[in-house]
Amino acid sequence: MADEPRWYKSSYSNNGGDCIEVAANLSGAHGIVPVRDSKDPNGPVLSFPTDVFSAFVEGVKAGEFGAV
């Protein structure tokens, strides 16, 4: 279904389980990007407006949040 989130983790998430999953498939039709904790797939989901999530990803790529 187009309205069901298709969850995925980054290919860079091989870090011991401290990662999130996103469902970017809802971006076009609903204007949101749902995010959840990969360790708790039945737990809460945060939904961000597509433009806000895109700005966050660009900030990460640009190193705006420092190294972890």
Pull the structure tokens for residue 15.
Answer: 């870090």
Domains of the chain, residue spans = 1-62
Read off the amino acid at residue 23. Answer: A
CA distance 6 to 64: 28
Residue 15: predicted pLDDT: 64
Residue 53: predicted pLDDT: 95
Q: What is the pLDDT of residues 43-68, one digit of tens each?
A: 999 999 999 999 999 998 899 998 76
Distance of CA 6 to the CA centre of its chain: 11
Residue 16: predicted pLDDT: 65
- Judge if pTM exceeds 0.85: no
Q: What is the pLDDT of residues 28-46, one digit of tens each?
A: 999 999 999 988 999 999 9
